[in-house]
Structure 1
């Protein structure tokens, strides 16, 4: 029994994942028109790519080569997150092609380049939506997951390009690694306060940040302030309250504003006010990079 009403259904789960010792010999899944939420196709390729990276075993690369098309590797899905690994898969696999170790993986490099071009507003290629204030935006809620995960991919691909002196051909312009780093920095600057709302979307950072996040532990009083037992529905008044959360969840990043850059700081609007691990996780690597490289236009090699 919850202490406050939940305004959405639980996320779908994936079942039937193969074991570590047997999955590589499993027949490829049949093509599906279902969304990635209902399949594990991208997960099989993503797992094979990381096992190849960790072990150097050619068996995993052969699995990708033999099953990639069937498992949707050629799908043009410009997204990277907990439920769709396609863009990350292309960036990860393209490393071997860029370094000249796997020329047979050229199609993954081409897909990675295509993804990168969608992130460059100056490119003649069709690109993803940006808000008027400059934030990457995709419909569906918890938008900061796209900001943090795509920023991570931009920095990763910039690293690969730098080591190989490669660039990305985006129609009438050539995009180098410095452009990718600057694009990532713009997104993180937006997240931390350089936006039309002049608000940091990380709790506890800056002078203005979300006060009413959609998080049970943050919105309920602490046991020190409320030692009495709370019954099943006793949390509802705190959920409905317009007061700031009594327990700030410092460091948490909320879903963030919508396509108009507006953020109402409303606890009930979970699509904007709920923090998640899949928003925070990619940002750890991004912030670590910028701590070591505060000026992305002049990177130490």
Structure 2
């Protein structure tokens, strides 16, 4: 069996959620390429809906998968708190979960009102750029008594109830607040029943409720029972079980849409009822060694390399989810043969993701051998031109993200455009994080997290000028200059950028002329103002003109949005013939070919951000 630094994987998989944060980031933000984003969320409806997680590589805050992911992450702490403590990562995972639960409290604006989504998925998915500079409007969508959404209300109730359990030891007042909202949301979910995508129709193309809402009512009731020990919540969960289809499926697994497979394991543990035990074992047998039915063995499809393969879209996500259920159930049962069977299955699936596969590669970004470097993630890619292919390499490392995964033949292409294989999402990582916590418990003795992690990424040139000589003679110099905003540490918009072009007027002064005789004009201009020559060093006759784009928004969000061009001319009277650009500071190195130059420095609100000044 291969061995990995499971504490390192856990450390990185937790950090993935930090990369998914929306809203005003705290000073403790560890990713220098992430900044504030979505700061106007909720303004269209008069509420503060900032915060929460972007669900995947896009920038929509989808309530159902966010709540599911938060619930599962809280469940992993509920099961493996000691493993997180052993890894010295308990504070980290609680901090990530709290980012989501804080948002749920904001979004629950009345007992029977919850804002289930922020952002239009169709509009959002038509633009490719960093979260910090999203140009589109972000409408908010709610559920209420008139337009209910049982799935998202009950799932959020589960997240808040599970959160109340894990925070109770460290912040009892916060835990009580979470539980209060969980109770209200669960009552709302049960009393006003309705499929949430019938109300939040924008979610239908992305996170449609295929399984209906009964599974969430079961799930929410279980977590409220675990949080309160109030029998009435368990009774509600069991009553909802009676409304679930009688022929319990065993061929699927836990997912953001279907939590029944998770519920039956907890119900088996809580109630000891044989129906839940048998159904759980049918499911886990089918996924692991095979299920014997009517004399034949039924088993999940396996790749040649040993991955339990449910479907192509997020193949590793489903294997990770099934593995987590197997780990949790194996911890509870006393039958040693079954315990070994389920635990071995979960270990093998987890090791496949870490590198024990035919490609001999990790499927976790930033970890192990030959990990993915092209996840389908807008902000990590860092395009400035609204293009999937530009730049050709990601500017940022999305540490800890579990990608979608290989096909049924173990084939995988690390290609950003293949969103089926390379999508990342909060729900992909949730159970996987729990699996790694269990691996720390099993095999992580003596292992430690990486010090000084994550490393601060060195920034590339974010603002700069490219220039070329259009004309140069004894009367004038004409320059074509393009000012760029390709910021990414983090990406940011500016409407106060300028650059300065420096000239030496020694030859002009020698012939009796002064800076007042120099005309500065533009033959092409995308919004700049051109200043008269300003003295920089009178003793050396050094002057500059400021090409100022103040008021013009430049942001790394499109081909024309991230750059502005100006063609400007400095000229003396036509009969003077005293102009000589060869001694001009900013002219040095320029040719007729456009090129980046440090001798035309760039300023943002008057502060130099690129290039160098004349000495």
TM-score, shorter chain, exceeding 0.5: yes
Does residue 113 of structure 1 match 2:113? no
Point out 4+ residue stretches in structure 1 off by more than 4 angstroms: 27-30
Q: Does 1:137 align with 2:309?
A: yes
CA contact (8 A) 2:254 2:261 kept: yes
Label 1:123 to 1:76 Cα distance change in 2 as closer, same or farther (>3 A): closer
Q: What per-residue deviation string (whole Å, max 9, x for no partner) do you get for residues 78-135 of structure 1?
A: 310111112111111100234xxxxxx3212221111111122354341211111111
Q: Which residue of structure 1 aligns with residue 187 of structure 2?
A: 22
The CA distance in 2 between the partners of 1:111 and 1:191, in whole Å, is: 27
The answer to whether the Cα contact below 8 Å between 1:254 and 1:272 also exists between their aligned partners in 2 is yes
CA contact (8 A) 1:215 1:275 kept: yes
Structure 2 unaligned residues grouped into runs of 5+? 1-123, 130-141, 154-183, 196-207, 445-615
Q: Is the CA contact 2:219–2:237 (under 8 Å) kept in the aligned structure 1?
A: no
Does the CA contact (< 8 Å) of 1:73 and 1:86 recur in 2? no
Tell me the secondary structure at the aligned position of residue 406 of structure 2: coil
Q: What TM-score does the superposition give when structure 2 sets the normalisation length? A: 0.39
Consecutive unaligned residues in structure 1, runs of 5 or more: 6-12, 99-104, 168-174, 222-229, 296-301
1:151-190 matches, within 5 Å, as: 151-161=323-333, 165-166=334-335, 175-190=337-352
Judging changes above 3 Å, is the alpha-carbon distance between structure 1 residues 92 and 36 closer, same or farther for their aligned structure 2 residues? farther
Structure with a larger share of its residues in strand: 2
- Cα deviation 1:231-262 (Å, max 9, x = unaligned): xxx221xx125833121111111001111110
TM-score (norm 1): 0.76
**Residue 56 of structure 1: aligned partner:** 229
Task: Indicate conservation of the 8 Å contact 2:355/2:362, yes or no.
Answer: yes
Residue aligned with 2:298, SS: coil
CA contact (8 A) 1:41 1:72 kept: no
Residue of structure 2 aligned with 1:83, choices 240, 248, 257: 257
CA shift, 1:207, in A, is 2.6
Range with greater deviation from structure 2 (35-44 or 181-190): 35-44
How far apart, in 2, do the equivalents of 1:62 and 1:118 lie? 29
d(CA) in 1 for partners of 2:310 and 2:413? 18
The C-alpha deviation readout for 1:29-78, integer Å capped at 9, x for no partner, is 89xxxx95262111011111111222221112222333312133653153
Does the CA contact (< 8 Å) of 1:215 and 1:274 recur in 2?
yes
- Is 1:260 aligned to residue 409 of structure 2? yes
> What is the RMSD of the two structures over their aligned residues, measured on CA atoms?
2.7
